[in-house]
Amino acid sequence: MRTTTSTTLDYIPEPIRAFVACRGAEVVGLGVTGAAAGATLALASWSVDHPSFNHAASGPVHNLLGAPGAIAADFIMQLLGLSSIVFLAPPILWGWRLPTTRRFERLTARLMLWLGYSLFSAGLAAMLPSI
């Protein structure tokens, strides 16, 4: 004799579940795009003279996102340098793709390749000659 357990989700009709899943994908996509756009704005207005965790400065912060943007941009620039462009491109594209197509296959592989290529591009950028 088999016993089945029912959950609350079993009582929700399938079209409502699909609707919520689609809206959830749109919200997540807009959030990812917004976070990547914020990081792009912070990096676009990054300056060495801004205060951060390892640089104390008494002057005003001129970063477009204020002190949090200056700290985040400094952290990304110290970690990845010029390859931060490669680091930010996939989240922008993924954030656009989620609301439009709502299909996201092989998420683990995408994340691992994204991180691997970001570090690889940082190594390539380190080999560029300094001006």
CA distances from 71 to 5, 50, 81, 91 (A): 50, 8, 14, 20
pLDDT above 70: percentage of residues in the chain:
95
For residues 33-57, give the mean pLDDT. Answer: 84
Per-domain residue ranges for the chain? 9-126
Cα separation, 62 vs 66, in Å, equals: 7
For residue 61, the tally of other CB atoms under 10 A from its CB is 19
Q: Give the pLDDT confidence score for residue 102 in this predicted structure.
A: 64
Question: 49-104, pLDDT tens digit by residue?
Answer: 777 777 777 777 888 888 888 888 888 888 888 888 888 888 888 888 888 876 77
pTM: 0.74
Provide the pLDDT confidence category of residue 34 given band limits of 50, 70 and 90: very high
Least-confidence region, from 1-10, 43-52, 120-129: 1-10
Cβ atoms 39, 72 nearer than 8 A: yes
Max Cα distance, the chain (Å): 77
Cα separation, 102 vs 77, in Å, equals: 32
3-state SS of the chain is: CCCCCCCHHHHCCHHHHHHHHHHHHHHHHHHHHHHHHHHHHHHHCCCCCCCECCECCCCCCCCCCHHHHHHHHHHHHHHHHHHHHHHHHHHHHHHHHHHHHCCCCCHHHHHHHHHHHHHHHHHHHHCCCCC
Q: Give the pLDDT confidence score for residue 60 in this predicted structure.
A: 79
